[in-house]
Amino acid sequence: MERQRMELSNWGNYPKTIAEVYFPNSIEEARAVVLEQERLIARGNGRCYGDAALGHQVISTLRLKRILNFDTQNGIVWVEAGVLLADLLEVIVPHGWFFHVTPGTRYITAGGAVACDVHGKNHPHKGCFSNWVIDFDLLCADGSVVRCSRQENSNLFWQTCGGMGWTGVILSVRFQLMRISSVFLQQRAVKANNLEDLLKAFEANRSWPYAVAWVDGLARGLQLGRGVLWLAEHQTATTPKPLAFPTRRTLDLPVYAPNFLLHPSLIWAHNQWYYARATNGEQRVDLEQCFYPLDRVHHWNRLYGRRGFVQYQFGLPEEHSLQGFRLVLEQVHSSGMAPFLCVIKRHGDRPQEAIHSFPERGYSLALDFPRTPGVPALVRQLDELVWKWGGKVYLAKDACSAPHMSRIFPDRFAPNKFWSLLRERIQPSERC
């Protein structure tokens, strides 16, 4: 089995650590690593942003990448945990299947999708990824492999969905796909002059299956929170044709951009241009354009320079979202820091048993900040506002929030074997 000592970071390029990384090719090799190491953490494709998939000892699932079974009639797929959604799309779309729930990148593994219980732009309609999981096999601290589903080992099932890898190593996942007859979607843009209008537009368009809003994070005064709501629904093919996942040439950012590139004045200019260019109206887009626009540029995270960036994604209850988002944006403005990507999503109810899933009824706002020295202090100020309004942060994005902010408590996870930098940062007994 290959083993490498290497510098590791996740998508935000912050923090960085030196880790011993093991690349098992089989369950037996994975078991040997788990039994040998006192502490370790599973890692998929490192597409979380902060410190979740980092540790001093890391077990990578990227070599566990076989599609074990694909029932093309019923749309049930069983894959090893290291299979990328990107690779799976090439196989399932030609048979007329897509994911019920997908995040904004297809370069994540099936194991990572379960461990963060990822959500998409359709949470009120389809819930989180776990909603569609039938079962998974989990490699536990004692080396045993346990099948977990809603019926079998259900406690472990729900502890693991959104459990950030703290229950064990997910080895394989079986989940249900969604029928599609076309790779196209109808997309509608709705421009909104301010935050209140934007949230009203979400409400008025609740019946659209997909909804996500770009927000101008620098707009102030009467235009605070102005943005564009993007809605989408799948098209039905009138003449069924063989389907193929549409891919375009991707660009690559081969080197880190200089730090001045995302200067607030340039972000301001970008936002002016983006908002002015957007018009209300409809157009036809394909799966890649609708769900994975950011995947068009490989390594776009290098745009933030070597210093990396921090994404602050938090959710607020529906009744406090407008007021809370306003206060957060005002706090950001008074800090002088400029968020580049700002995105709002609407969320539906969290099933009671999905104890670690991030989305709850209401809205979430994600803000990307180049990692300047003032960011940790700003994050703590935002934490206070979010907490006061009954909100929480998403651990898949978190890099420096206060330990209680996710409302997930790692000391309630039985084995201390599965250990990440995130867990070290937020587990009370481990902090000095």
Under the rule (CB under 6 A), what is the footprint of ligand FAD? 10-11, 41-48, 52-53, 61, 81, 103-105, 108-109, 111-113, 115-116, 118-120, 164-165, 169-170, 294, 396, 420
Q: Write down the least CB distance from residue 10 to ligand FAD, Å.
A: 6
φ and ψ at residue 239, rounded to 5 degrees: -115, 100
Q: Are 299 and 254 in contact (CB under 8 A)?
A: yes
Give whichever of 49 and 245 is closer to ligand FAD, judged by the CB atom. 49
Helix (H) or strand (E) holding 215: strand 210-215
Tell me how far, at minimum, the Cβ of 328 lies from ligand FAD, in Å.
19
CB of 48 or CB of 177, closer to ligand FAD = 48
Cβ within 8 Å of residue 81, ≥6 positions away: 42, 44, 61, 64, 109, 110, 111, 114, 136, 169, 170, 171, 172, 173
Q: Please report the DSSP string for 128-173 in residue order.
A: -GGGGEEEEEEE-TTS-EEEEESSSSHHHHHHHTTSTT-S-EEEEE
**Residue 372 DSSP symbol:** -
Sheet hosting strand 16-23, strand order edge to edge: 2-9, 16-23, 57-60, 41-43
Shortest spacing between CB 330 and ligand FAD, in angstroms: 25
Amino acid at 137: D
Minimum separation from the CB atom of position 282 to ligand FAD (A): 23
* Cβ proximity to ligand FAD, 44 vs 96, nearer residue: 44
Q: Which residues pair with 314 in a beta bridge?
A: 365, 393
Q: Which residues of 266-294 are buried (b: 16+ CB within 10 A; e: fewer)?
A: ebeeebeeebeebeeeeeebbbbbbbbee
Preceding amide of 15 cis, omega within 30 = yes
Spatial contact of 318 and 270, defined as CB atoms under 8 Å apart:
no
The nearest distance, CB 403 to ligand FAD, in angstroms, is 16
Q: Which is nearer to ligand FAD, 266 or 294 (CB)?
A: 294
Helices (H), 60-122: 85-92, 110-115
Token readout for 348 is: 């539906």
Least Å from the CB of residue 109 to ligand FAD = 3
Of the two residues 105 and 321, which places its CB atom closer to ligand FAD in the complex?
A: 105
Amino acid code (one letter) for 427: Q
Question: Smallest gap, in angstroms, from Cβ of residue 42 to ligand FAD?
Answer: 4
Q: Using the minimum distance from each CB to ligand FAD, give the nearer residue, 156 or 224.
A: 156
Q: Of 420 and 427, which CB lies nearer to ligand FAD in the complex structure?
A: 420
Nearer to ligand FAD, 10 or 321 (CB): 10
8 A C-beta contact, residue 133 and residue 114: yes
Beta carbon of residue 394, minimum distance to ligand FAD (angstroms, whole number): 7
Nearer to ligand FAD, 81 or 243 (CB): 81
Minimum Å gap between C-beta 179 and ligand FAD is 22
